[in-house]
């Protein structure tokens, strides 16, 4: 406010001088202007009324003193006027204008600054202004409508004995045996074509807890049994859909002073923490992990930048990013108070993310996944003919909570003296997985993405599996079928989110019986599970912003065993919001 006071003094001094000279009109103009400005300052709260009054009084006193001094000096230095002569001191017009403009400019700038700061704090005039805590939440979601046709080959295995080759293990284990499940549901469908309308709804709520720390919840249409599908099939006599919590987690991201995110820690029910290979827009490779699978537990990813930085500006000296990363995670699969041998998944992955100056990008990872205590523990009580009712805690805990189709099985217990009851996994699963993708931007804005994925179960032993499944009658000898691989090509827009954008993709997949855990792999390829090979062709096309259509044709067959082939056509309408 010192500038304001000085300006007021100058103006009032000028007013006093002009008054002495008789320029009453200019005095009134300047006085009114100055008075109005001071009143406006008081009104805006910049000055108090007392301070304004004191300012005017001091200015008037200073002006009177200055006029008196000037008059005294003029009387001493000037020649006395002759009788009848009148002298009027002259103030140039440009000086008056300069004073006026300076006063207006200085006061306007300070008033506007104070008013704008108050408006920002109080959110004056901001449409739909909300409390601060609401801005920390973000709501998003997506909705997919699907038409799916399943076509079975005419020469597939059929009849009541399908279950001996391709059993519906999930239904049998849930019911407690072949007699309990009934003949109709013992085996998978190998004969009947099927058409389904399906729907998927996902709603996510993310909240900022503190700097770097976020909480998230995602609700989905699904069921409590199947962890690899979030589809709701239409046609349940108008019954309501189930709406479950798919994710609930805390995630912390640490960023260094150069803006590089070097650490991510997450816990709870989280998204897949592993890099899974090419085809990012459509979820990447599902050789080991289905894209709908969420993980329960904890994961940490540490990243290290290989780029050099300018110490003065903190700018990256290279145009393309180069970094390495390592991820580790621990995930409980099944916990029981009756056994100390809970089921767990432990995993680790190391990878490279390498960008090129021509905007090409290479990313790859090598992972090791170790499943603990998932192998079947057969009931060996001969006195009771191994019936399931005599299972101990370890026998019952070794029955998988979910299975699809393909893995080598072992009988855990009988339903009665002669009828099989519940099954488990005959071998161990310790999987080495190598994934990679190369993104060529030569066709920009379209991208050509080449992806490859390979998995090998190094924990499976044929001899151990044979010993484990010794109760299973009439089955063929176990062979070493522990490898899986996939090659994939995507071309088009990396992400289809606007009208007219498009992409096409194709891949070939080969998954042997015990290469990966059938419960967690792709639920669409060969209708879910392992022991399958085949081609997939697909395309995405943008219809409008955040709305796109997807079509996929999957043609698959079994690798070993009697004939079982199927083709699947999926037509999707996707939206995100």
Q: Residue 374 to residues 302, 464, 513: CA-CA distances in angstroms?
A: 29, 14, 16
424 or 466: which leads in pLDDT: 424
The predicted pLDDT at position 201 comes to 96
Q: What is the pLDDT of residue 265?
A: 98
- pLDDT by residue (tens digit) across 269-315? 999 999 998 766 667 899 999 999 999 999 999 999 998 755 554 45
* pLDDT(317) > 50: no
pLDDT per position as a tens digit, 377-390: 999 877 667 899 89
Q: What is the pLDDT of residues 127-183, one digit of tens each?
A: 556 677 788 999 999 999 999 999 999 999 998 888 889 999 999 999 999 899 988
pLDDT tens track for 149-163: 999 999 999 988 888
| Whether pLDDT at 184 is above 80 | yes
Tokens linked to 566: 């199927």
pLDDT band at 21 (very low <50, low <70, confident <90, very high): very low
Read off the pLDDT of each residue in 67-93 and give the average, rounded to a whole number. 58
Q: Is 397 within 8 Å of 336 (Cβ atoms)? A: yes
Mean predicted confidence (pLDDT) in 342-364: 95
Residue 236 — pLDDT band, cuts 50, 70, 90? confident
- Mean pLDDT across the chain: 85
pLDDT at 415 over 50: yes
Query: What sign does the dihedral 560-563-567-568 (CA atoms) show?
Result: negative
| 221/202 Cα distance (integer angstroms) | 7
CATH (one of 1.50.10, 2.40.160, 1.10.3470, 3.40.395) for 144-576: 2.40.160
Residue with tokens 């003094």: 9
Question: Contact 347/274 with Cβ under 8 angstroms?
Answer: yes
Mean pLDDT comparison of 38-42, 305-309, 395-399, highest-scoring range? 395-399
Where in the chain do CATH 2.40.160 domains reside? 144-576
Confidence grade of residue 120 (pLDDT, cut at 50, 70, 90):
low
| pTM summary value | 0.76
What are φ and ψ of residue 383, in 5° steps? Answer: -65, -25
Residue 231: pLDDT band (50, 70, 90) is: very high
Burial of 330 (0-12, 13-18, 19+ CB in 10 A): middle
Which comes out higher in pLDDT, residue 29 or 565? 565
pLDDT at 280: 63
Sequence-distant (≥ 6) Cβ neighbours of residue 558 within 8 angstroms: 526, 531, 532, 533, 564, 565
Three-state SS across 500-515?
CCEEEEEEEEEECCCC
**Confidence check: pLDDT of 20 > 90:** no
């Amino acid at each position: 406010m010192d500038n304001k006071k000085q300006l007021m003094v100058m103006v009032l001094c000028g007013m006093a001088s002009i008054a002495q000279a008789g320029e009453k009109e200019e005095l009134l103009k300047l006085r009114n202007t100055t008075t109005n400005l001071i009143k406006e300052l008081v009104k805006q709260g910049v000055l108090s009324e007392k301070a304004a009054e004191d300012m005017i009084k001091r200015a008037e006193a200073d002006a009177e003193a200055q006029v008196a001094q000037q008059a005294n000096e003029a009387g001493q230095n000037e020649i006395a006027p002759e009788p009848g002569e009148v002298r009027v001191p002259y103030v140039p017009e440009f000086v008056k204008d300069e004073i006026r403009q300076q006063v207006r400019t200085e006061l306007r700038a300070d008033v506007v600054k104070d008013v704008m700061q108050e408006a920002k704090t109080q959110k004056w005039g901001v449409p739909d202004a909300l409390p601060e805590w609401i801005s920390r939440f973000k709501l998003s979601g997506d909705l997919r409508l699907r038409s799916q046709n399943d076509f079975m080959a005419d020469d597939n295995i059929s009849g009541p004995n399908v279950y001996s080759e391709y059993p519906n293990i999930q239904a049998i284990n849930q019911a407690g045996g072949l007699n309990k499940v009934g003949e109709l549901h013992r085996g998978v469908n190998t004969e009947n074509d099927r058409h389904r309308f399906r729907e998927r709804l996902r709603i996510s709520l993310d909240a900022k807890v503190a700097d770097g720390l976020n909480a998230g919840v995602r609700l989905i249409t699904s069921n409590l049994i199947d962890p690899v599908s979030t589809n709701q099939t239409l046609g349940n006599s108008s019954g309501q859909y189930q709406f479950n919590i798919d994710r609930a987690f805390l995630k912390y991201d640490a960023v260094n002073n150069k803006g590089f995110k070097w650490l991510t820690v997450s816990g709870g029910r989280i998204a897949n923490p592993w890099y899974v290979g090419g085809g990012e827009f459509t979820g990447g490779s599902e050789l080991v992990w289905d894209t709908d699978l969420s993980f329960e537990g904890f994961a940490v990813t540490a990243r290290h930048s290989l780029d050099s930085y300018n110490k003065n500006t903190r700018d990256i000296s290279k145009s393309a990013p180069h970094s390495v990363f390592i991820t580790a995670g621990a995930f409980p699969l099944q916990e029981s108070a009756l056994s100390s041998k809970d089921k767990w998944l432990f995993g680790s992955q190391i990878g490279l993310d390498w960008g090129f100056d021509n905007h090409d990008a290479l990313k790859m990872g090598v992972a090791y996944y170790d499943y603990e205590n998932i192998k079947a523990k057969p009931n060996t009580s001969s006195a009771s003919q191994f019936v399931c009712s005599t299972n101990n805690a370890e026998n019952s805990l070794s029955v998988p909570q979910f299975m699809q189709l393909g893995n080598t099985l072992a009988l855990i217990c009988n339903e009665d003296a002669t009828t099989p009851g519940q099954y488990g996994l005959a071998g161990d699963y310790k999987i080495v997985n190598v994934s990679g993708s190369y993104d060529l931007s030569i066709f920009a804005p379209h991208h050509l993405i080449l992806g490859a994925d390979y998995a090998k179960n190094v924990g499976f032993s044929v001899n151990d599996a044979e010993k484990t499944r010794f109760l299973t009658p009439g089955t063929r000898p176990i062979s070493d079928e522990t490898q899986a691989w996939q090659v994939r090509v995507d071309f088009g827009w990396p992400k289809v989110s606007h009208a007219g954008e498009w992409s096409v993709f194709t891949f070939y997949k080969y998954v042997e019986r015990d290469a990966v855990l059938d419960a967690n792999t792709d639920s669409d390829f060969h209708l879910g599970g392992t022991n399958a090979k085949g081609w997939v062709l697909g395309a995405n096309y943008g219809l409008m912003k955040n709305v796109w259509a997807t079509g996929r044709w999957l043609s698959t067959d079994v690798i070993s065993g009697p004939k079982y082939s199927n083709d699947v056509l999926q037509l999707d309408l996707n939206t995100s919001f």
